[in-house]
Amino acid sequence: MADGPNSIAAKMGAWFSAMSLQLLSRFFEKRETVAHLSPKDRIKKYGYRSFIGGQNPERWYSIGRLQYFFLVSQGLDHSHSFLDLGCGALRLGQYLIPYLDENKYFGLEPEKLLVECGLFHEIDEKIVAIKKPRFAHNYDFNVEPLHEFDYAMANSIFTHMTQSDITRCFQRLLDKTNQNTKFFFTFFEGDSSTNQWVESHANRGWHYSFEELESFAHGWNLKYIGDWGHPNDQKIVEANPIN
Ligand X SMILES: C[S@@+](CC[C@H](N)C(=O)[O-])C[C@H]1O[C@@H](n2cnc3c(N)ncnc32)[C@H](O)[C@@H]1O
The site for ligand X (CB under 6 A) is made up of 52-53, 63, 85-88, 91-92, 108-111, 114, 139, 141, 155-157, 200, 202
Whether the CB-CB separation of 208 and 188 falls below 8 Å is answered with yes
What's the closest the beta carbon of residue 113 comes to ligand X, in angstroms? 10
Query: 129 to each of 3, 25, 125, how far by Cα in Å?
Result: 70, 47, 6
Q: Which residue number, 107 or 241, has a Cβ lying nearer to ligand X?
A: 107
Q: Which residue number, 91 or 104, has a Cβ lying nearer to ligand X?
A: 91
Q: Report the alpha-carbon distance of residue 79 to residue 104 in Å, rounded.
A: 7
In terms of Cα–Cα distance, which of 157, 155, 161, 203 is closest to 41?
Answer: 203
Whether the CB-CB separation of 47 and 34 falls below 8 Å is answered with no
DSSP string, 74-100: TT--TTS-EEEET-TTTTTHHHHHHHS
What's the closest the beta carbon of residue 8 comes to ligand X, in angstroms? 45
What's the closest the beta carbon of residue 43 comes to ligand X, in angstroms? 9
Q: Which residue number, 139 or 224, has a Cβ lying nearer to ligand X?
A: 139
Q: Which residue number, 71 or 202, has a Cβ lying nearer to ligand X?
A: 202
Tell me if residue 186 falls in helix, strand or coil. Answer: strand
Tell me how crowded residue 207 is: count the other CB atoms within 10 A of its CB.
15
What's the closest the beta carbon of residue 219 comes to ligand X, in angstroms? 19
Whether the CB-CB separation of 172 and 140 falls below 8 Å is answered with yes
In terms of Cα–Cα distance, which of 87, 96, 89 is closest to 69?
Answer: 96
Q: Report the alpha-carbon distance of residue 189 to residue 44 in Å, rounded.
A: 31
Q: Which residue number, 26 or 40, has a Cβ lying nearer to ligand X?
A: 40
Q: Which residue number, 95 or 220, has a Cβ lying nearer to ligand X?
A: 95
What's the closest the beta carbon of residue 159 comes to ligand X, in angstroms? 7
What's the closest the beta carbon of residue 207 comes to ligand X, in angstroms? 15
Q: Is the dihedral of CA 101, 107, 112, 118 positive or negative?
A: negative
What's the closest the beta carbon of residue 138 comes to ligand X, in angstroms? 7
Q: Which residue number, 10 or 152, has a Cβ lying nearer to ligand X?
A: 152
